[in-house]
Amino acid sequence: MELQSAPLIGIALAIASAAALAVGNLLQARGVRAIEAGAALGSDGSKTRSLLRNHFWLIGTLLLGVTVLLQMGSLTFAPLMVVQPVGVVALVFTALLTAMFTKKAPSRQVVRSIAMCVLGVAGFVTVAAMVSTQHAITDVQLVAVLVVLAVLLATTALVWFLGRRRRTPPVIWVLLGGIYSAFVATLGKTVILRVQSMFHSGGPKWDMANLLTIACILGIGIAGGLSVYFVQKAHAFNRPEVVVAGLTVVDPAIAVVLGIAILGEASGAPAWAFLALAAAGAVAMSGVFALSRAESRTQ
């Protein structure tokens, strides 16, 4: 069953979500940097208490909550692969706000990297809007998303265990934050579609399908918690622009792959569309790594 969508409303909500994400991340970054720059605080618990007393971090966290609500709203009106990449607008907002606060214009390398991200995502969204559709989510698709999340959790645990005695490259925290954020969006989209389909078919019923939906909600909590954790780690070692790049380029890249491969949002797309999506995604991801290198040289 194909479900109705309103892409323009979804894109408008996604832009509003991007604005909240930009401001929220800047405030969180300021809070985390203030704690890291202070005297040695001892245990992780003391750092947590310090963050909870930091007004900038708390307001930033509230705005990130608003970001998620707006994001879920956008996913209600349009396919995942259309609205999720629109979040790259947050990267532009972040660069402009950073320049205003620091009274220092970004370097040419930074501007070029952001332009790569924006152009790549713009091309992606244009093609996705032309070929994507929304369908009711089957039990098999739900199980597939949950299995992929379980594999990711196991892989993350293994990588952390093997590399715990080595220095972690700062960009890894950015990538992990973006990847787990993508699962929040993907699982959120599955829940939204399941609820919409449920009401189309006469209301909720207590059956295996609903148990799978509850499992998806639990998955959102796990992925969301890990995304928040990794984003805080990313703020401690990266500039805000790099963290936002991870959340607005890596996140949609993973979410879109899941949307295409599992949710079937591009099931009727021609071959040229997949080539165009791959090329646009490669440009956007190259921009993230270029931005990480450019910002590391200015720290």
Tens-place pLDDT, residues 157-199: 988 887 677 777 778 888 888 899 889 888 888 888 777 776 6
* pLDDT above 80: residue 45: no
d(CA 95, CA 110): 9
Residue 260 forms part of a structural domain = yes
* pLDDT above 60: residue 44: no
pLDDT at 152: 92
Residue 272 forms part of a structural domain = yes
pLDDT at 46: 64
Residue 36 forms part of a structural domain = yes
| pLDDT average, residue stretch 61-74 | 89
* pLDDT above 50: residue 39: no
> HSE of 174 in the Cβ direction (CA atoms, 13 Å)?
27
Residue 251 forms part of a structural domain = yes
Q: For a pLDDT cut of 70, what percent of the chain falls above it?
A: 87
pLDDT at 206: 57
d(CA 288, CA 71): 21
Residue 69 forms part of a structural domain = yes
Residue 153 forms part of a structural domain = yes
Q: Quote the distance between the C-alpha of residue 268 and its chain's center.
A: 26
The boundaries of the domain holding residue 237 are: 7-298
Average pLDDT value for the chain: 80
Residue 2 forms part of a structural domain = no
Our count of domains for the chain comes to 1
Residue 1 forms part of a structural domain = no
pLDDT at 40: 45
* pLDDT above 80: residue 204: no
